[in-house]
Structure 1
Amino acid sequence: MHGVERVWEALRGARRLLVSTHLNPDGDAISSELALDWILRSSGAEISIVNQSPYPDPYRFLPGIERIHLYNGDSYAPFPVLVALDCGRKNRLGDFVGRIECGTVVNIDHHISNDQFGDVNWIDPKASSTGELLLELADHAGVPIGPELATCLYTGILTDTGNFTFANTSPRCHRHASRLIECGADPAEISRYLYRSRSVGKLRLQARLITELHVDEEASLAWATLTREMCDDAGVSITDALDLVTIPLSVDGVDLGILFREFDEPGKTKVSFRSEGDPDVSILARELGGGGHPSAAGCTLEMETDDAVAAVVPWVYDRLGRRSRKPTLAMLRMRHPKGLEA
């Protein structure tokens, strides 16, 4: 059976399902959860959407957003099916999943680095987004695409293609987007919520990040650091600042941008790589224990942010052959002995 057929076979008979996505969810992750909820509503199944991380505030406009619950330690009865959306590894769902008894794990994703952790896996790296796959699922299930479902699916495609600007933007996703507009998605309204409506604090944070940006024009490399202190000073949660990840790459002449983001818990740093597909940043991320796409990838390091910058930036120079200087690898090798062989 094809991936969509196997997935539908696992979902259609389930009476209770747990739906979740990766830590620090993005637009495709959040909208995919809601899209699946809309698809399965007609089946009469009891659906619980539970995440370990809050969703970014700009996505509050999505239909059904109130259905997403933040895990707070509550106990749940066993779920016959767990659906993981847009998540390359099971541990990226968060440790809360280990506290809930689940049966069959259904894994739906478009990341080439997905490690096929599900009992049922549907992984399509040719898809621009998980939202694209859920549109195919809706069609396979014979579910009509109403305005609410269309809005969620369109948002997933829009955000994971970077407003139709990333290298994963394809004729296929444009055809899907056109159809979803015909089904009731409002592109102007969705774009306003996501790209043309920012708080003063968010704009101040963006300005500070740009001011503190490090640019090496000769090496076509730029990087920046986003700390909790910066977010607190601007009155912006670090979750709502995730879209600033593209700023380093936006510099003219830069083909690789890196954002180092401090976690709420000390001793951890999120490293996000962005490119136009060359260099393939998924290779860099995988070598550091992460994953992603050729143009957008990342990893989490058990390091303070300053230490991560001091170690990763020289390593990137060395890995890409852009500077003849020895990288500082000792600390990273200690934590990732298999992932940092140049």
Structure 2
Amino acid sequence: MINHIMEKIEQFETVILHRHERPDPDALGSQLGFAHVIKESFPYKKVYVVGEEEPSLAFLGEMNLISDYEYEQALVIVCDTANTERIDDKRYRQGQYLIKIDHHPNEEPYGNLNWVDPSFSSTSEMIVELIEQAGLQLDSESALLLYAGIVGDTGRFRYSNTTANTLRRASLLVEQPFDQNTFYSNLHKKDLKITRLQGYVLQQFSVINDCVGVMRLTKQDLDRFQVTSTESSQLVNAFSDVEGLKVWVFFVEDEDKIRVRLRSKGPVINTIATEYNGGGHPMAAGATAYSWEETEEIVQKLVIASK
């Protein structure tokens, strides 16, 4: 599969990389890191990254603004995105050839070529494997970006998706001379408004049956603290260390929907996410609800899953 991907990269003069909307460190790390490696390996190619900017992760890099014309003869690579609904910038359809690289369960195998492997901790880790197998060169910039992706999706190597291979590949990255202290400072810094919202969350979340944590943030809450629904995602694990919790859920009201962020320490929760217009990993998933009554259904299913 890696050979096929490299053949396509060599074939096209223009490569455009996408990832999912509301990006996290793995989405940006795999997209930007892979783009940088391609640029360094094939300096004569045009390589672009597209999608919305995420202010909290702006230190990782910026997106390109490109015209539709660039897609006409382009190879499009979508990183870290399980389904087409979540792909940021719908022009991905306009390319000549489409590759999907992802570590989520392959529930929607879109594109001309799929490299999907849930045994990897992150898509960034998959890109490290590709670099290693294809004999491409890492430098400090690409190493930092891919390290950010692995750190983000493994919870700083604390989650069960951290394998011996994950650590080995991460070691290849830290061999490059980037400043880990500065990276972690940038990754975990919080605006004052987020810190104040975190205090509110810690006061207001509830625990059901001693094992299911629940937090609901309304549009009024977000307006009060001047925080967007995307920014609130930084707090999804704010109360995860409470003793006895098996699963927890954040409900965040957006313009016309309620975003559902699900996390678990054991019970499988992505099956519940798929019932509500979502999906993800067995212990980290996202979904969408369209009423507060629907969120009650989700909570009850989490209670059942936790028994």
TM-score by length of 1: 0.82
How is 1:50-65 mapped onto 2 (pairs within 5 angstroms)?
50-51=50-51, 53-55=52-54, 57-62=55-60, 65=61
Find the counterpart in structure 1 of residue 202 from structure 2: 210
Find the counterpart in structure 2 of residue 337 from structure 1: none
Secondary structure of 2:240's aligned partner = helix
Q: Which runs of 5+ in 1 are unaligned?
A: 323-342
Comparing 224-233 and 13-22, the one that deviates more? 224-233
Find the counterpart in structure 2 of residue 315 from structure 1: 301
Cα pair distance change 1:212/1:308, threshold 3 Å? farther
Q: Select which of 292, 306, 324 maps to 2:280.
A: 292
Residues 231-275 of structure 1: per-residue CA shift (max 9 Å, x gap): 332233332221211234332110100111222x32x12211101
Find the counterpart in structure 2 of residue 116 from structure 1: 109
Is 1:167 the counterpart of 2:153 in the alignment? no
Secondary structure of 1:40's aligned partner = helix
Offset at residue 321 of structure 1 (A):
7.1
2: CA distance, partners of 1:91 / 1:202 = 28
How is 1:1-342 mapped onto 2 (pairs within 5 angstroms)?
3-41=1-39, 42-43=41-42, 44-51=44-51, 53-55=52-54, 57-62=55-60, 65-66=61-62, 68-69=63-64, 75-77=68-70, 78-94=72-88, 96-97=90-91, 101-195=94-188, 197-216=189-208, 218-263=209-254, 265-266=255-256, 268-276=257-265, 278-301=266-289, 303-304=290-291, 306-317=292-303, 319-320=304-305, 322=307
1: CA distance, partners of 2:9 / 2:253 = 37
Residue identity opposite 1:234 in structure 2: F
Residue identity opposite 1:227 in structure 2: T
1: CA distance, partners of 2:154 / 2:28 = 15
Aligned length: 304
Find the counterpart in structure 2 of residue 326 from structure 1: none
1: CA distance, partners of 2:33 / 2:273 = 29
Residues 42-87 of structure 1: per-residue CA shift (max 9 Å, x gap): 3122122111x432x232222xx12x1479xx64442432111000
The two structures, once aligned, show a CA RMSD in angstroms of: 2.1
2: CA distance, partners of 1:251 / 1:270 = 23
Cα pair distance change 1:132/1:114, threshold 3 Å? farther
2: CA distance, partners of 1:273 / 1:279 = 11
Residue identity opposite 2:171 in structure 1: S
